């Protein structure tokens, strides 16, 4: 057709008109409806619509249109998956024309189309933008059968492409608006202000929150240097230097400083972060008020200092009380022992040399003095041993339990306790443990001595000493078949001076198991007892096996 043909001219004018509108409007529905109206004008029909492909990829919704009855635009749908001409146009990307719907054999048309009097149909795809699916179909309907000429179809193609560009522009705009809304939200939630410095002119552009945080009025001087003046003098150099380095190296700007707020003269801590954009000759950044954080940091430092000084005071007073305890222990061992020995010595002299003068009653008393003095001496020895275990330096080394156990049994025999009433079975092999040799020997002595001591009158007690090794720990058992311990008492017997029996039946000071507890704890081990009244007792201690290798913390 002649390009100057009046219809061709009209189409070109309409194309230009639509192009103008498509660039001006931000309203997609307005653009689509206007597209339908104009295309109708260009092709001399009053029925046109745009169907939009839905996210399921197969439903087309009548998004906009002209000439349709109520209940079509925004409501009616077409199944693009079936044998519809719309679906076919979508799949092939080619225009689909039905000059007479009544005679159409290839496609089925939706009922609403026929109801609205469409007799001829032309479908042209509205392609999607980059990486996007097609938007849908531009559909021109005619109320009478008609042939769409080649010119009509090529006009429609061009028109649909223009429409596609307009739709894509709006989609991009929409996405951009979405991300700028999200950015604004993030800035709001994070209470961040934004700023931009033009590197050449030194002028700044700032968000209103920036001005609030920085403490300057909206009409405050726009130059960076003027802002710098608001930074407290002690921080100003650091900020200027940070800015210089950031621009020089094109590296991130990150600096904390204090600013003086002009309105209420308050001083606030702020953090400036930014990134230079050399192509645009600018630095863009954000500002945050970090006053609360700074105050919290300061309080933390102050609290730490107080804590440190408290700890050092306590350590000092602990050292003093340890020293006092040392001197107490010394007093107990020397000063108290001397009069005790004198008492015992004089009572013995009375008994040896003045038997007659004393008479029977006097002798009984003198004997009781000797007995009491001896008990007192044992008590002092035990207390000193206990205080030594609590405070002595612990020298951990590899210790063979067998040797300490043998010595404990030998001591038992020597003391006369391990007589014919005691049998001892010792495990032939003990895994070596990590322990302090002296403390370990004290612990074993006490456990073995107790096992021999707390037996039924006139009955032989069987003691078994054995070991178990598991997961880097060695558990040593000292078991007896003696009087046993009721479950209620099994915890408190490890406390100092806790005893369950009178001196007459079972002599003792109640310090032995307290030494076991303190000693094992100091060596980083655990202890316990399994027992029931009259069922014997099974005391155990657990220490690190000598073969245990601590996992390397650096791995
Ligand atoms: P002591 O042996 O001087 O009485 P210990 O601290 O060694 O003090 O023990 C505390 C108490 O625990 C004992 O008086 C006794 O009642 C109970 N006890 C300790 N070992 C055994 C044991 N093997 N069998 C039964 N009771 C025990």
Query: Using one digit for the tens of pLDDT, what is the confidence trace for 345-362?
Result: 888 888 888 888 888 888
H or E segment to which residue 142 belongs: strand 136-142
446 C-beta closer than 6 A to ligand 1: yes
Cα 158 from Cα 18, distance rounded (Å)? 12
Judge whether residue 3 has pLDDT over 70: no
For ligand 1, atom 16, the nearest C-alpha belongs to: 500
CA dist., res. 88 & res. 95, Å (int): 9
User: Which of 379, 450, 457 most suits a substitution to test ligand 1, by most atoms within 8 Å of the C-beta?
Assistant: 450
Which residue, among 263, 259, 262, has the nearest Cα to 294 in the 3D structure?
Answer: 259
Distance 537 CA to ligand 1 centre (A): 10
pLDDT at 4: 56
Q: Is 497 strand, coil or helix? A: coil
pLDDT one-digit tens code per residue, 512-550: 999 999 999 999 999 999 999 999 999 999 999 998 876
Q: State in Å: Cα 497 to ligand 1 middle.
A: 10
Nearest CA to ligand 1 atom 12: 493
Whole-number Å distance, alpha carbon 30 to ligand 1 midpoint, is: 97
pLDDT single digits (tens) 363-377? 888 898 888 888 888
Output the average pLDDT for the chain.
Answer: 89
Nearest ligand 1 atom to alpha carbon 513 = 6
Give residue-wise pLDDT tens across range 151-173.
Answer: 889 889 988 998 898 888 888 88
Q: Across-strand partners of 463?
A: 424, 480
List the structure tokens of 359: 């008479």
**Cα 527 to averaged position of ligand 1 atoms, centre (Å):** 15
> What is the pLDDT at residue 551?
66
- Cα gap 37→30, rounded to integer Å: 11
The answer to whether the CB of 118 falls within 8 A of the CB of 90 is: no
CB of 512 shorter than 6 A to ligand 1 = yes
- Calculate how far, in angstroms, residue 465's C-alpha sits from the geometric centre of ligand 1: 17
User: Could you tell me the pLDDT band of residue 2, with boundaries at 50, 70 and 90?
Assistant: low
* Residue 444 Cβ < 6 Å to ligand 1: no
Q: How far apart are the first and last CA of the chain?
A: 83
Our answer on whether the CB atom of 454 is closer than 6 Å to any ligand 1 atom is: yes
What SS3 class is residue 399? strand
Please report the atom of ligand 1 found closest to the CA of residue 483. 25
Phi, psi (rounded to 5 degrees) for 81: -80, -30
In sign, the C-alpha dihedral spanning 42, 46, 47, 50 is positive
Nearest CA to ligand 1 atom 13: 499
Q: What does the pLDDT read at residue 553? A: 45
Asked whether 499 lines ligand 1 (CB < 6 A), one says yes
Shortest-distance Cα residue to atom 20 of ligand 1:
450
Name which residue sits closest to atom 7 of ligand 1, judged by CA.
512
Atom from ligand 1 closest to the CA of residue 508: 3
Q: Which residues contact 430 (CB under 8 A, 6 or more apart)?
A: 400, 401, 402, 405, 467, 474, 476
Write out the two tokens for 419.
Answer: 């007589």
Q: Do residues 232 and 258 make contact, with C-beta atoms less than 8 angstroms apart?
A: yes
| Of residues 14, 16, 31, the one with CA closest to residue 164 | 31
**Burial (Cβ within 10 Å: 0-12, 13-18, ≥19) of residue 261:** middle
Q: How far is the CA of 390 from the centre of ligand 1 (A)?
A: 20
Rounded CA gap, 550 and 555, in Å?
11
Q: For 362-412, how does the pLDDT look when each residue is reduced to its tens digit (9 = 90+)?
A: 888 889 888 888 888 888 888 888 888 888 889 999 999 999 999 999 888
Our answer on whether the CB atom of 500 is closer than 6 Å to any ligand 1 atom is: yes
- Give the neighbor-by-neighbor strand order of the sheet with 526-531: 422-426, 461-470, 473-480, 537-544, 526-531
Pick from 23-37, 319-333, 425-439, 462-476: least confident: 319-333
Tell me the pairing of strands 204-206 and 192-198: antiparallel
Quick: pLDDT tens for 420-453: 788 999 988 899 999 999 999 999 999 999 999 9
Sequence-ordered list of residues with C-beta below 8 angstroms from that of 548, at least 6 positions apart, any chain: 434, 472, 473
Asked if 410 and 447 touch (Cβ cutoff 8 Å), the reply is no
Q: Please tell me the distance from the alpha carbon of residue 88 to that of residue 93, in angstroms, as a whole number.
A: 8
Distance (Å) from CA 380 to ligand 1 centroid: 18
Ligand 1 lined by 478 (C-beta under 6 Å): no
From residue 191, alpha-carbon distances to 22, 219, 391, 399 in Å are 38, 21, 56, 64
**Tokens representing residue 480 in the block:** 């007896």
pTM for the model = 0.47
pLDDT at 428: 83
- Ligand 1 and 537: CB distance under 6 A: yes
State percent of the chain over pLDDT 90: 50
C-beta 483 within 6 A of ligand 1: yes
Q: Indicate whether residue 536 lines ligand 1 (CB < 6 A).
A: no
pLDDT above 90 for 279: no
Alpha helices (H) along 331-417 = 337-353, 355-391, 401-414
Residue 492 Cβ contacting ligand 1 at under 6 Å: no
Judged against a pLDDT cut of 60, whether residue 109 lies above it is answered with yes
Distance (angstroms) between ligand 1 centre and the Cα of 502 equals: 11
Q: Does the Cβ of 445 fall within 6 Å of ligand 1?
A: no
Nearest alpha carbon, ligand 1 atom 19: 450
CB 97 within 8 A of CB 150: no
| Pair 62, 36: CB distance under 8 Å | no
Q: By alpha-carbon position, which residue is closest to atom 23 of ligand 1?
A: 451
- For residue 110, the Cα-to-chain-centroid distance in whole angstroms is 58
- Higher pLDDT residue, 219 or 4? 219
Strand-pairing partners, residue 254, are 273
**Cβ of 494 less than 6 Å from ligand 1:** no
DSSP 8-state symbol, 544:
E
Q: Is 219 exposed, middle or buried (0-12, 13-18, 19+ CB in 10 A)?
A: exposed
Q: 510 alpha carbon to ligand 1 midpoint, in Å?
A: 7
DSSP state of 102: G
Rounded CA-CA distance 198/220 in Å is: 17
Answer for the pair 403, 377: CB distance below 8 angstroms, yes or no: no
Region 43-69: mean pLDDT is 92
CA distance linking residue 148 with residue 6, whole number of Å: 17
Which ligand 1 atom minimizes the distance to the CA of 500? 16
């Amino acid at each position: 057709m002649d390009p100057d043909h009046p219809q061709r001219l009209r189409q070109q004018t309409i194309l230009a008109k639509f192009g103008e509108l498509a660039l001006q409007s931000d309203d997609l529905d307005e653009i689509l409806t206007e597209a339908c109206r104009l295309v109708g004008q260009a092709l001399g029909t009053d029925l046109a619509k745009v169907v939009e492909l839905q996210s399921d990829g197969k439903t087309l919704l009548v998004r906009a249109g002209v000439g349709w009855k109520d209940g079509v635009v925004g409501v009616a749908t077409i199944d693009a998956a079936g044998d519809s001409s719309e679906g076919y146009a979508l799949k092939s990307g080619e225009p689909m024309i039905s000059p007479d719907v009544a005679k159409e054999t290839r496609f089925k048309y939706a009922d609403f189309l026929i109801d609205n009097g469409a007799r001829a149909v032309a479908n042209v795809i509205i392609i999607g933008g980059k990486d996007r699916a097609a938007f849908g179909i531009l559909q021109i309907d005619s109320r009478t059968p008609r042939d769409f000429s080649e010119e009509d179809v090529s006009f429609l193609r061009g028109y649909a492409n223009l429409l596609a560009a307009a739709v894509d522009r709006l989609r991009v705009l929409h996405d951009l608006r979405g991300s700028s809304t999200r950015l604004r939200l993030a800035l709001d939630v994070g209470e961040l202000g934004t700023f931009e410095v033009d590197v050449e002119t030194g002028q700044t552009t700032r968000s209103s929150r920036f001005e609030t945080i920085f403490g300057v009025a909206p009409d405050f001087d726009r130059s960076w240097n003027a802002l710098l003046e608001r930074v407290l003098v002690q921080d100003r150099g650091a900020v200027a230097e940070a800015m210089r380095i950031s621009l020089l190296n094109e590296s991130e700007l990150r600096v904390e400083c204090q600013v003086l707020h002009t309105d209420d003269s308050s001083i606030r801590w702020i953090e400036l972060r930014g990134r230079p954009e050399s192509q645009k000759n600018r630095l863009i950044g954000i500002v945050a008020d970090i006053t609360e954080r700074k105050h919290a940091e300061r309080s933390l430092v102050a609290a730490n200092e107080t804590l440190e000084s408290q700890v050092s005071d306590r350590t000092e007073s602990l050292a003093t009380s340890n020293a006092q305890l040392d001197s107490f222990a010394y007093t107990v061992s020397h000063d108290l022992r001397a009069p005790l020995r004198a008492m015992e010595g004089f009572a013995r002299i009375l008994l040896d040399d003045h038997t007659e003068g004393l008479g029977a009653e006097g002798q009984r008393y003198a004997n009781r003095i000797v007995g009491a003095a001896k008990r007192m001496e044992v008590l002092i020895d035990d207390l000193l041993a206990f205080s030594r275990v609590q405070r002595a330096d612990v020298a951990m080394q590899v210790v063979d339990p067998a040797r300490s156990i043998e010595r404990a049994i030998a001591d038992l025999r020597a003391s006369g306790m391990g007589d014919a009433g005691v049998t001892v079975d010792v495990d032939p092999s003990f895994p070596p443990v990590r322990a302090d040799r002296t403390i370990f020997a004290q612990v074993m002595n006490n456990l073995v001595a107790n096992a021999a001591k707390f037996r039924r009158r006139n009955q032989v007690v069987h003691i078994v000493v054995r070991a178990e090794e598991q997961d880097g720990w060695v558990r040593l058992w000292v078991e007896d078949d003696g009087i046993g311990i009721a479950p209620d008492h099994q915890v408190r017997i490890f406390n100092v001076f806790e005893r369950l029996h009178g001196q007459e039946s079972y002599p003792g000071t109640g310090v032995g198991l307290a030494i076991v507890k303190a000693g094992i704890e100091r060596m980083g081990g655990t202890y316990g007892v399994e027992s029931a009244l009259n069922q014997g007792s099974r005391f155990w201690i657990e220490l690190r096996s000598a073969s245990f290798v601590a996992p390397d913390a650096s791995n």
